[in-house]
Structure 1
Amino acid sequence: MSDDDDTTTETEFREVVTMAPAELERWLDTEESRSVGQSDGGESTGHRSGRRIVEILRTKKADLTEADRAHMRKVVGYVRRHLAQRPQGDVSETRWRYSLMNCGHDPLD
């Protein structure tokens, strides 16, 4: 990938990930966070992704790997698709919001 592509990935990731690392970590420790997402009996995919997002947010730009950037692109795509499926009404205590928050995006902020 080119430097322009990397910059675009990083910019888009920072736009969709609206939660600070510490805020996301606190969220991931809640029952609500663990209650959503596809799982094979263990940790859900979204919850695992949230932990990876915290690591990426705490990584210096120069130290980001191509695997980090690939995950960042995946998160951007997921958040954008999920936002397009917003349910009607109050979403403050919905699985839809909780799933987005596992990816570091709180749609109420």
Structure 2
Amino acid sequence: MTENTPVDVELLWDEFHGVVNMTSDEIRTWLLTDASGEDAFPADPRMLPELGTQVVDLLRKRKVDLTREDTEVMRKVVEFVEERTANRPADAARDERWRHALMSVGHDPLKP
């Protein structure tokens, strides 16, 4: 894997924060609800979906504290959200499975 330059990290940081439109507290609360799907384990917060918890952790970090692993997670989230939103279902407002998958990484497609 290539090294990230400061410019690359800056752009990725902006992209990540552009697609993640939920706060860390909103994501954590969402992941702890039964409504977040099969991957949710409300009885044991240590068992939450890994990518979602990584997003929560990233939102609490400063840009200067990012690691290589953090940039990989940010890239994965940006790609996931862009792919899912590009393939938006015809009735997205009613497609809970599609919305829940996006919300699990911090993007609520119904949020303005």
TM-score tier, shorter chain, comes to 0.7 to 0.9
SS in 2 for 1:91: helix
1:80-99 pair list within 5 angstroms: 80-92=82-94, 94-99=96-101
Aligned 1:1-109 pairs, distance under 5 A: 1-35=4-38, 47-92=49-94, 94-109=96-111
CA contact (8 A) 2:89 2:95 kept: no
Moved over 3 A (4+): none
Structure 2: gaps spanning 5 or more residues: 41-46
Letter in 2 for 1:17: V
The TM-score with structure 1 as length reference comes to: 0.85
By how many angstroms is 1:84 displaced? 1.0
Partner of 1:40: none
AA matched with 2:75: R
CA distance in 2, matches of 1:12, 1:5: 11
Paired with 1:26 and 1:69, the residues of 2 have a C-alpha distance of 24
After TM superposition, give the deviation of residue 103 of structure 1 in Å.
0.7
Higher relative contact order (CA 8 A, sep 6+): 1
Query: Using a 3 Å threshold, how does the CA distance of structure 1 residues 18 and 86 change in structure 2: closer, same or farther?
Result: same
Unaligned runs of 5+ in 1: 38-42
Aligned length: 102
